[in-house]
Amino acid sequence: MNAKTRRRFTAEFKTQAVQLLETGKPIAQIAEELSISSDLLYSWRRSSHGAQLGRAGARAEGERSEADELRALRRENALLRQENDILKKAAVILGTRLLPSSAK
């Protein structure tokens, strides 16, 4: 019998994984990139949903449409940074090497 060891994830990793769901990528794709099950992502999203209720974002000054656009761009920027951090951590966990940023 092969006994599987149970992997443990940090709260930070879970939070960042849930925030990746807001990027619009399919859950299955995100789960595959992070080498976790999609059921686990759904579970983490349910758990974090209650914690995020009532949390207000920072208000931008200016006209309503400019403020909305600025908030959306800030949110997108934060998500892209988090996605990049998670992928770097996953690469380390999986033992793959990152390409140098100068070699494109």
Per-residue pLDDT tens digits for 47-77: 887 655 444 444 445 456 888 888 889 999 9
How distant is the alpha carbon of residue 63 from its chain centre? 30
Specify the 3-state DSSP secondary structure of 2.
coil
Specify the DSSP class assigned to residue 101: T
Identity at 40, one-letter amino acid code: L
Specify the CATH number for the domain of residue 40: 1.10.10
Instruction: Name the residue with higher pLDDT: 14 or 57.
Output: 14
Give domain status of residue 34, yes or no: yes
Q: Torsion-angle region of residue 37: left (phi > 0), alpha (psi -120 to 50) or beta?
A: beta
Give domain status of residue 32, yes or no: yes
Q: What's the domain count of the chain?
A: 1
Give domain status of residue 36, yes or no: yes
Give domain status of residue 22, yes or no: yes
Which domain does 51 fall in, by range? 11-86
Give domain status of residue 93, yes or no: no
CB atoms within 10 A of CB 20: 23
Q: Identify the band that residue 24 occupies on the pLDDT scale cut at 50, 70 and 90.
A: confident
Give domain status of residue 35, yes or no: yes
Give domain status of residue 57, yes or no: yes
